[in-house]
Amino acid sequence: MALTLIASVLGFAGVALGAFGAHGMSGRFTPESRGWWETATLYLLVHAVAVFAASLSGRTGLFSTGGWAI
């Protein structure tokens, strides 16, 4: 249950930061820094999906620990 909540918060943060970078920071990024921002938000969203998958497994032990480690 806790991992699902954390995955939801991470997913929300990834979408919000991606939208902020695309709309709120438009014109302030260099092409290189825009790429960094896009990569960072992509990594955040991928990790949110990984944590969500770990929460759905219903397993305990190493898999659950892996979810918390992510």
- Residue 14 burial by Cβ neighbours in a 10 Å radius (0-12, 13-18, 19+): buried
| Residue 44 and residue 10 in contact, taking contact as beta carbons nearer than 8 Å | yes
Q: What is the pLDDT of residue 68?
A: 79
Distance from C-alpha of 45 to C-alpha of 6, rounded to nearest angstrom = 12
Give pLDDT, residue 46.
97
Residue 28, pLDDT > 80, answer yes
pTM of the model: 0.84
